[in-house]
Chain A
């Protein structure tokens, strides 16, 4: 007997159930299809503008920095300014994201290169599909538009998120993602990112910049 059959058999013996119990199957199918929500904290259930404020406050609480611009055209200038203020090189690595690609980068001194990171890029730029106000969390999905390596290898990560994509809670984000990718389907990687990388493994002292970015800057658009 394979390990699979043995394990499933042992589980059924322990639970004293048999394989043909249609009632149990129906319960499981109902949950997988119905995907009931549990308790969604009131904290994030706010009107749009307050949701953005909560998102920013929570992101800053975990040592992210947050800027805000009115429209996509303003992003390159805001990014250039951030790089200057932090003495960072005016060069960013980004994927093929259409929102980012449509921005007037030529109006700035910032040099833009495209593709995944091999670890040599000081600054990565991504577009998050969503934000979650509850915890100041960014939601990034893999693919040619926003390669996952950009989220982790560069020392500085700049993430653009549209104000209208900031949800109150994770559940809303899952609904939206499933609408986009099909029910029961996700992109290869979905990263929930809450602040820059950190470790407290040495004497419980919290230090930023363990293996991932030391700095996380968020630009909210709109």
Chain B
């Protein structure tokens, strides 16, 4: 995937001027936020479980070498194979090696951000193996030769007429006059076409939401069931996952499961949470004959010793981007690489280098919503600040340093973004521990280094704009 993070500002300007994208992004605003809030509110223990989730991940990361060894041991005793890959290239070669040994011509794929990160599809294609994405959103963007614009809803930047267009262009053996005006007809068409691909595939590749050390199990979480068909029908199942997916026990997974779907889609639990351990057993009538896990590092072991270590707690729920005013305004592609939104702004500079992604940590209005909703309590704004400091220290170039301020000003000048972000932040501050009536910093008012005391307009947590509107009404 071509990396375009360096031109974030240009990407953002284009995104703001793209009516189709803006139409599609309105579904993020309405779709995810209320649902998450309702699901979290319906579980009284939700916030407490966020604490245990954070603690489980911290504990695991502090003993990651040992849990990896324990996990590996259990996978082997269940008859599976574990392959470590320090780099993306190494992971690609390993996957290709397994596919070649299996004489694979087509490979079905469950949704995997790690596969996106290492560029698996392009690589397999270059080597004569056809990858078929089976998650509906991934399938759509594969047809359109696009990258994902969201980590759990990869095609969220598209409208149904664009999907229809792609289906008509790709499925040319179907009657041209068929009705595809409704989302259901699009879904049914994809279901029919992919069903055949599932049954014909030689290898199935999935990601993993968790790798369980206690039992040597990989866990996938889906709503469609495509990940399951990917991993039970072909002869060979390959899991690609990164080192921080390890969780000690099934009980620990249960804690984090209670956070994941609620934070992601506002469901209590996703439809399918599937635990896979090794290949099929001797008397199993279905399931794969071979089970491989490719464990990717790609810079994460270094992160573990850095100020970005807490980002390794991320469970890829997407809540931080759903609640980010910048993401909502410009969509995921503007970020220029596979991980968009606040978590992308923290991860991308580590994974592809600060030279290429150094702009992303500036793509923020500092409203703090991402940290507020992150189920793993990752201090995303603080980490973005660390990157900006690093970029500054490196004196990359005066132009790059100035660019940061320019980007901030760019967002500050957009009234819709500004209103939304400040309204949220003021409520947080007004309800928070900071004494009523005074803020230590007014979001968006002082760049990111100045801290001044601002009198709260009326000590009631409303913004100037809201109060102005209220006054005009009463006048």
Contact A197 B225 (CB under 8 A): yes
Does B155 sit at the interface, judged by CB under 8 A?
A: yes
Q: Is B66 an interface residue (CB 8 A)?
A: yes
B74 partner, pick from A11, A184, A193, A211, beta carbons under 8 A:
A184
Decide yes or no whether A84 CB sits under 8 A from chain B.
no
B274–A202 contact, CB under 8 A?
no
- Inter-chain CA distance A118–B100, complex, in Å, is 26
Check A38 against B251 for contact (C-beta < 8 Å): yes
Is residue B52 contacting chain A, with contact meaning CB distance below 8 A?
yes
Task: Tell me if A15 and B276 are in contact (CB < 8 A).
Answer: no
When distances are taken between beta carbons in the complex, the residues of chain B under 8 Å from A142 are 280-281, 284, 286-287
Q: Is the CB of B160 within 8 A of A203?
A: yes
Q: Chain B residues near A119: list those with CB within 8 A.
A: 195, 199
Q: Cβ of A100 < 8 Å from any Cβ of B?
A: no
Asked if residues A174 and B250 are in contact (CB atoms below 8 Å), the reply is yes
Size of chain B's interface in residues, with CB distance under 8 A? 104
Q: Which of A17, A41, A204, A209 contacts B43 (CB 8 A)?
A: A41
B153 touches A201 (CB 8 A): yes
Known: A10-B297, A10-B302. A15 touches B62 (CB 8 A): yes
Interface residues on A, range: 35 or more
B272 within 8 Å of A by Cβ? yes
- State whether the Cβ of B59 lies closer than 8 Å to any Cβ in chain A: yes
Known A41-B45, A148-B287; judge A190-B275 contact (CB<8 A).
yes
Give the residues in chain A near B84, CB-CB below 8 Å. 2-4, 6-7
Which A140-162 residues have C-beta < 8 A from chain B?
142-144, 147-149, 151-153
Query: Cα distance A164–B299 when bound, in Å?
Result: 48
Instruction: Flag B130-150 by CB within 8 Å of A: 1 or 0 each.
Output: 000011110010000000000
CA gap between A19 and B284 in the complex, in Å: 39
- CB of A158, distance to nearest CB on chain B (Å): 16
> With A14-B305, A184-B74, A202-B187 in contact, do A28 and B153 touch (Cβ < 8 Å)?
no
The answer to whether A11 and B140 touch across the interface, beta carbons within 8 angstroms, is no
Q: Which residues of A contact B154 (CB under 8 A)?
A: 201
Question: Is there an interface contact between A188 and B215, defined as CB atoms closer than 8 Å?
Answer: no
Q: Any chain A CB within 8 A of the CB of B156?
A: yes
Instruction: Give the A-B pair count, Cβ closer than 8 A.
Output: 266
- Return the chain B residue nearest A136 by Cβ: B268
Known: A149-B286, A192-B273, A210-B187. A38 touches B254 (CB 8 A): yes
Chain B residue nearest to A35 in the complex (CB): B249
Interface residues of A (CB under 8 A from B): 2-4, 6-8, 10-17, 19, 24-25, 27-28, 31-32, 35-39, 41-43, 58, 62, 95, 115-116, 118-119, 134-137, 142-144, 147-149, 151-153, 169-171, 174, 184-205, 207, 209-213
List chain B positions with a Cβ less than 8 A from chain A.
24, 27-28, 30-32, 43-45, 48-49, 52, 56, 59, 62-70, 74, 78, 83-86, 90, 134-137, 140, 153-156, 159-160, 163, 183-184, 186-188, 191, 194-195, 198-199, 213-215, 217, 223-226, 228-229, 232-233, 243, 248-252, 254-255, 257-258, 265, 267-281, 283-287, 295, 297, 301-306, 309
Supply 27 A–B pairs (Cβ within 8 Å), ascending by A: A3-B85, A7-B86, A11-B243, A14-B304, A15-B305, A24-B66, A28-B70, A35-B214, A36-B251, A38-B56, A39-B48, A42-B44, A149-B233, A170-B254, A174-B251, A184-B214, A185-B215, A186-B217, A190-B274, A191-B274, A192-B269, A200-B153, A200-B265, A201-B154, A202-B155, A207-B183, A212-B271
| Known contacts A38-B252, A188-B280, A204-B153; 20 further A-B pairs (Cβ under 8 A) | A3-B83, A10-B301, A15-B65, A31-B248, A32-B213, A35-B249, A36-B251, A39-B49, A58-B268, A135-B269, A147-B285, A149-B286, A187-B281, A188-B284, A191-B273, A194-B271, A194-B273, A199-B187, A207-B183, A212-B224
